[in-house]
Structure 1
Amino acid sequence: MAKTLRLAVAQSTVPEDPTDTGALRASGAEIRDLVREAGREGARLVQFPEGAITYPSKHVMSSGGPGTLVASDWSRVPWDVLREEAKSIADLAGQLGLWVAFGSIHPLTPPHRPHNSLYVISDQGRLVARYDKRFRAT
């Protein structure tokens, strides 16, 4: 007997300013709403895009102020808020019994820039994989 897997692909509003706590919270809430909707429609896996919680603009993160392209200042990011939102998404995945894959930035130790990461959350609400996007210099 063939088993089926219903996959939901969801597009949330992606804030470009990871220093905006309100936008991060709104992004997390929107992702959770879309996960609930996917669950109601019978999905077992919900896939979100790269940077679903936030996809930082280089202009916003500039240490020279918005609009100036110089080295980024990642110390301005409220990493605790990003962790809380990711955990809330994982907790909901476990409550609903859904797999969820979503993107966000992942902190590294300074002076290294954060990774642009994809998190895979099991239907038990546990992080089972993280893929870190890497660029090669040409």
Structure 2
Amino acid sequence: MLKLATAQSPLSSDLRESAAGMCRLIREAAASGADCVHFPEAALSGYVKSEIKSWVDVDWEALEASLDEVRACCAETGIWAFVGCNHRHPNLSRPLNSLYIVDGRGQAVARYDKRYCSNSEITDWYAAGNQPVTVEIKGIRLGFLICIEVQFSEFFMEYERLGVDCVCLSSGPGLEMFRIQCQGHAASNCLWLSYSVPENGSDKQPSCFIGPDGEILASCVRGASGLVIGEIDPSDAKWDIPVNKARPWRRRARAGEIYLEHRLKD
């Protein structure tokens, strides 16, 4: 069983303020017994068009120092953090919209780069990533997506095929339709889903944690910094139908072989 904290942290153009706020939530998550904490899109770096008006204005060394603060906090508390942060890649002319996966020793063990950037992102701001990313914590496999990628069902089906138990979707301002889509993807693929949005973008839809049947199990308070703790336990009897029955059956249904003998021939 894994305890995952879904965070609702404020977006800020002040890197030190962002790092301090994230560290407060990491410590709060650790005190609540969480194994990991999931943050919104660009939670540390700030998002383009709102906190960032031009890449020229970004102090990348200061951003790296702020990331080091968050990593040190993970090492201090012993829990993982999934950190929304812009990433400058040496082989690309544009930064990536990323999630750093920081383990309980403070090491950045993986990085998910947003693959389907929005029209304005790919036109003027970001380069695009090219692969899914999974990590395993306490026997639970997690996958990662960012914001508008909620609108692409193939990503959720891909993670289902990769054996993911929970998808962590980091987003910008929370939208009711994004939350509805999250619930649909969770139910269709029998996955837990953590939906993390920023505090100053949660008035329409706050961060929430969704079960593998598509039901919202916990939600943050609208317009307030905070987090909720969700438990991911595939062995729990209450999840027997979605996890042990529906999920493997749907995998067979998608493969199509179970229909061959009884399929209409003419």
TM-score bin, normalised by smaller chain: 0.7 to 0.9
Q: Which residue of 2 aligns with 1:36?
A: 27
Unmatched 5+ stretches in structure 1: 18-22, 62-72
Task: Tell me the TM-score normalised to structure 1 length.
Answer: 0.76
- 1:97 paired residue among 63, 78, 87: 78
Unmatched 5+ stretches in structure 2: 120-266
Task: Tell me the TM-score normalised to structure 2 length.
Answer: 0.41
User: CA offset at residue 36 of structure 1?
Assistant: 0.5
Secondary structure of 2:98's partner? Answer: strand
Q: Partners of 1:100 and 1:129 in 2: how far apart?
A: 11
User: CA offset at residue 134 of structure 1?
Assistant: 2.7
Q: Partners of 2:100 and 2:52 in 1: how far apart?
A: 24
Q: Which residue of 1 aligns with 2:88?
A: 107
1:27 aligns with 2:8: no
- 2:98 paired residue among 112, 117, 122: 117
User: CA offset at residue 90 of structure 1?
Assistant: 0.7
Q: Partners of 2:25 and 2:114 in 1: how far apart?
A: 24
Q: Partners of 1:29 and 1:59 in 2: how far apart?
A: 17
User: CA offset at residue 60 of structure 1?
Assistant: 4.8
| Bigger Rg, structure 1 or 2 | 2
Runs of 4+ in 1 over 6 A off after TM superposition: none
Q: Which residue of 2 aligns with 1:134?
A: 115
* Deviations, residues 71-101 of structure 1 (Å, cap 9, x unaligned): xx42220111110111110111011110110
The amino acid across from 1:51 in the alignment is A
Q: Greater share of helix residues, 1 or 2?
A: 2
Q: Partners of 1:123 and 1:44 in 2: how far apart?
A: 8
Q: Greater share of strand residues, 1 or 2?
A: 2
1:6 aligns with 2:3: yes
* Deviations, residues 47-83 of structure 1 (Å, cap 9, x unaligned): 001111111217952xxxxxxxxxxx42220111110
Residues 111 and 75 of structure 1, relative CA distance in 2, 3 Å threshold = farther
Q: Which residue of 1 aligns with 2:49?
A: 57
The amino acid across from 1:26 in the alignment is E
Q: Partners of 1:122 and 1:101 in 2: how far apart?
A: 9
| Percentage of pairs with the same residue | 38
RMSD: 2.1
Q: Which residue of 1 aligns with 2:221?
A: none
Aligned residue-pair number? 117
Secondary structure of 1:52's partner? Answer: coil
